[in-house]
Each structure stands twice: as C-alpha cells, then as structure tokens.
C-alpha cells in the first residue's frame, strides 16, 4: 500500500539511473525555464491559424507532461498535457535528429518536456505537433498510474479514493474531470465576489485565530500560543467580527473564508470548510433573499449558460424568483398538518413517530422546527426559502412585525439540503447581553454553547444599525453546481487521517 519510495524502489531506481545516463549525454534533466508560447487547447481550437499546410513555417512552442507514448521504431506519437489540455506530438528521428531522438527514447510517462514544431493533422485527422525540437524540462522518477481513454470511456481509472485524496497531485494529472471540478469551484467563488463587489460590498479579512469564539453552536479546535502562553481557538463562524465592522461603519462587508468545527466527518462535513458571510446595514432578510437568489442563478448561468442542473437524480431549476414559504405553511403544504392548531401532546407524537427527540423541556417553537426537519426538509427539491422560523430557534434574529412568535429569518433548501441561513439581525444590546450571558452559563451542560464575548457585546452596545446577515455554505453550493456528492471531491486537500497507524 502507499506510494512510498521503499515500495517501488526498483521502478524509481531505474529512473534515477536514467537521469545519470541523460547527464552523461551532456543534457541537464532539470533546466531552469522554458519559453512557452502556445497552449494545447488554443492550437486545437484555432487550428486554422496554425495549420502548416497554410502557414508554412509557423512554429509553436509548448511545454507539458508526457501522458502517453506510442513508439514505432524510428518515429513515435506521444501526447502531452499542459495547463489547458492535451495534444498529440509526432516525434520522428528524421525531424529531430539522433541526439534528441535518443533522449526521447529514454523518457517516461510523467516527464515534463518542452517542444517546438509545426502543426498538422495526421492521416486520421488528429491535430498534431510535428516536433522539430525537444527539451527535457523535468525527469519524473515516480511512475504515474496509467489511465487510458477511448471515445470518452476511461480504462484503468485511478479509482482508489483514499489514494486520490492523499495524492491529489497525481489525481489532478491522471483523473479526467478532476481539474475541471476545481476550476469550477474557483469560478463560482470568483463570480460571487464579482456580484458582491458590484453591489459595493467590501471584501474583508478577519481573524481565524481567536482568544474567544462564537457565532454558532459548535465545538472549536483549540491551540496554544507559546510566547503569550495562552489558549487560542480556530473560529467556528465569521459573524462576530463582521458585525463589529458593521458597527464601525463599514456598511456592506463580506468574507469568504475557512471556518473550523471540531465535530464528526461525513460526506457533507469536513473539519475545515468555507463559508460566505455577508452583512448589509439598513437591509433585512428580504434583501438577503434577493442577494442569495442572484448569487445562485447568476453563478449557474455563468458556469453552464442555463439555470437548470442535475443533482442527485433531480433536475433543479435555479431560475428566480424562488418560492418563499413560511415554515408553518410549508408543513401544511407538504404534510397537510396545521401545527399551530396541534396540542403539545400531538406534536410530541408526531416527532416520536419519525424517530425525533425532544431535548430537555418541551418548547413549542423548537418542536415546530423539529417537525419541519423530520417531515418536510427532504421533500424540498426545487429551491425554496423557508421563512418565519419560531423565535425559540435563535436569539440572534429579530421577530417579525406582524407575529412576534416567528422570526424574520430564512433558510434556503434545495434538493433536501440547507444551503443558506439569514436573519434580520438582532441589534438590541440589552437583549444581546442577556442571551449571550445566559448562553455562557450553560457551558458546563451544553458543550457547544459559546463563552461570553464581552468585546462583542460592547460593540453591539455602541450601536449596530439595522442589518441583514447571510451565511452561505460555499462547499455545499459547489457540490450542487458540480454534481459532486461528497465534500471530499470538491476540496483539493480534504482532511485525512495520517497514513501510518
């Protein structure tokens, strides 16, 4: 198991031997640079501009990793992969001369080369660089898994997920589509930033290493600062610092960054994950819904040119506007139960019937939320904003004007999962101090309750304008928009146990 030197010493040693032989030929197997003037995909998609039948002496120069070779005595085909894709090379003794051809015969799949040549279609019509010059740029000594493709079908895929996650550098080279998935992730994040920047939001950076944590119910990672000799925490949410900035007069701020939660791991949870948090002064939860819709719809269109995507076997249409449903109405619609008219006992029965639990004393608002999660959540396939959660679900959100039993809050559900959570943020300093203090007292019972953050409360006491706040799970969004079912497939380097026992 593993890709350790000891395990494949013989294969590696023969390649180290080749490095010596190449040096003996007077060739440096690790030169310092190369003049790259073309990329594979540009040559292929603009073939007319390069076709040597038309442009007689047009020389291209490109560099990439050798992915396959087909050697036929005094000539060979090879394909190399660069930043933008793959392209075939024709390597002939008569075109590159004996020295370079002898070098070529010593090369392996995985080596990085620079080539110059002319572009022409082969007899069977494949656009190919007929090389006239070959430069070894980096000699590989650790063999790559050989993955073959024919007509889009992949053979001998590098399919061991553990090896792929532990050796993402190899995965990126040999597994078709992996790179594209991560390029999509990059484009998604860039597009979100473009949207927010165009709305005059300021992208800020706030600390991840904190003396005190808060903003969510979660267990933090702890660490230690040596010279200060103090305990520090990795943040579990971005919220407390962004709200300080709103107090400070930065009226529209956002951060896309890592949060860390010391909890279980599964297909949708990694210990470190990426959140978008956004706060807008003088806005409320309705404004947050509009921004959320725009973020999803625009990003999907930008990636695919359509608002429809397939996810978990469903066609999901992200076209806005999305349905907005109060939580109790959603329960009515999906289960024909009118929770507001139920007795406490009937609600308990409904929860227990589905295997749900009521923690501590019975609280109607929490029970309504529980019934929603048990009976409705997984049924929501098309995007829906669930609004007006019971006030008991969070102390950080303002109650609705019309009915103080419910909040000006929404959660976004798509394909049975939650993607975003937003509030008309509570800014009553007396209420905030009280709830945060009460929460800090519960810490010996509730491990996920946060400690009192005096500086944060003082900030709220300074006066936070009415503010709409939004939290959006970037990893979940990337999964939705790339069709990936596991968070590990959209994180370049997911958290792994160490290889040795």
Is residue 100 within 8 A of residue 90, CB to CB? The reply is: no
CB of 351 to RNA, least distance (A): 10
Is residue 384 within 8 A of residue 334, CB to CB? The reply is: no
Contact partners, residue 33, CB within 8 Å, separation at least 6? none
CB of 472 to RNA, least distance (A): 11
CB of 270 to RNA, least distance (A): 11
Q: Between 77 and 221, name the residue whose CB sits nearer to RNA.
A: 77
CB of 70 to RNA, least distance (A): 4
What is the token pair recorded at 167?
């050796």
Look-up of token digits 């310092």:
32
Alpha helices in 136-284 (DSSP H): 161-166, 168-174, 178-198, 239-247
What is the token pair recorded at 478?
């990337």
Separation of alpha carbons 209 and 223, rounded Å: 9
For residue 480, CA distances in Å to 161, 196, 280, 325, 490 come to 20, 20, 26, 22, 10
Is residue 426 within 8 A of residue 398, CB to CB? The reply is: yes
Q: Between 206 and 486, name the residue whose CB sits nearer to RNA.
A: 486
Q: Between 216 and 490, name the residue whose CB sits nearer to RNA.
A: 216
> What backbone torsions phi and psi does residue 384 show, to the nearest 5 degrees?
-140, 135
CB of 250 to RNA, least distance (A): 25
Q: Between 201 and 423, name the residue whose CB sits nearer to RNA.
A: 423
Is residue 498 within 8 A of residue 439, CB to CB? The reply is: no
Q: Between 108 and 333, name the residue whose CB sits nearer to RNA.
A: 108
Q: Between 19 and 250, name the residue whose CB sits nearer to RNA.
A: 19
**Which H, E and C letters describe 354-399, residue by residue?**
CCCCCCCCCCHHHHHHHHHHHHCHHHCCCCEEEECCEHHHCCCECE
Q: Between 160 and 344, name the residue whose CB sits nearer to RNA.
A: 160
């Amino acid at each position: 198991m593993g890709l350790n030197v000891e395990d494949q010493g013989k294969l590696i040693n023969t390649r180290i031997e080749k490095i010596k032989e190449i040096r003996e030929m007077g060739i440096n197997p690790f030169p310092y640079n190369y003049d790259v003037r073309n990329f594979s995909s540009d040559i292929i998609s603009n073939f007319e501009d390069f076709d040597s039948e038309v442009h007689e002496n047009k020389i291209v120069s490109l560099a990439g990793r050798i992915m396959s070779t087909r050697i036929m005595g005094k000539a060979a085909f090879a394909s190399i992969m660069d930043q933008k894709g793959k392209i075939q090379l024709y390597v002939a003794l008569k075109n590159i001369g004996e020295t370079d051809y002898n070098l070529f015969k010593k090369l392996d799949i995985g080596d990085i080369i620079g080539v110059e040549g002319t572009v022409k279609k082969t007899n069977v019509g494949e656009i190919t660089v007929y090389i006239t010059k070959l430069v070894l740029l980096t000699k590989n000594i650790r063999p790559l898994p050989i993955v073959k493709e024919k007509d889009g079908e992949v053979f001998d895929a590098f399919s061991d997920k553990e090896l792929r996650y532990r050796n993402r550098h190899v995965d990126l080279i040999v597994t078709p589509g992996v790179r594209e998935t991560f390029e999509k992730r990059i484009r998604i994040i860039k597009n979100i930033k473009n949207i927010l920047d165009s709305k005059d939001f300021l992208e800020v950076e706030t600390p991840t290493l904190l003396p005190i944590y808060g903003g969510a119910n979660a267990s933090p990672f702890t660490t230690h600062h040596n010279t200060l000799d103090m305990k520090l925490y990795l943040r579990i949410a971005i919220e407390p610092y962004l709200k300080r900035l709103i107090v400070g007069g930065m009226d529209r701020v956002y951060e896309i960054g890592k949060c860390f939660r010391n909890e279980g791991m599964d297909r949708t949870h990694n210990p470190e994950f990426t959140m978008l948090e956004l706060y807008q002064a003088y806005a409320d939860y309705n404004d947050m819904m509009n921004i959320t819709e725009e973020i999803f719809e625009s990003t999907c269109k930008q990636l695919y040119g359509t608002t429809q995507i397939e996810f978990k076997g469903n066609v999901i249409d992200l076209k806005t506007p999305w349905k907005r449903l109060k939580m109790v109405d959603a329960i009515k619609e999906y289960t024909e139960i009118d929770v507001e008219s139920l007795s406490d006992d009937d609600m308990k029965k409904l929860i227990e019937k589905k295997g749900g639990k009521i923690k501590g004393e019975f609280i109607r608002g929490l029970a309504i939320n529980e019934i929603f999660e048990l009976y409705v959540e997984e049924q929501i396939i098309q995007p829906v904003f669930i609004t007006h959660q019971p006030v008991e679900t969070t102390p950080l959100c303002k109650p609705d004007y019309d009915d103080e039993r419910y909040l000006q809050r929404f959660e976004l559900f798509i394909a049975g999962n939650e993607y975003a959570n937003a509030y008309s943020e509570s800014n009553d300093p007396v209420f905030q101090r009280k709830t945060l203090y009460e929460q800090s007292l519960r810490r010996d019972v509730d491990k996920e309750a946060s400690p009192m953050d005096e500086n944060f409360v003082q900030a709220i006491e300074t006066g936070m304008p009415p503010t709409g706040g939004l939290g959006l799970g970037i990893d979940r969004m990337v999964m939705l928009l790339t069709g990936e079912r596991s968070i590990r497939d959209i994180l370049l380097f997911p958290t792994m146990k160490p290889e040795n026992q």
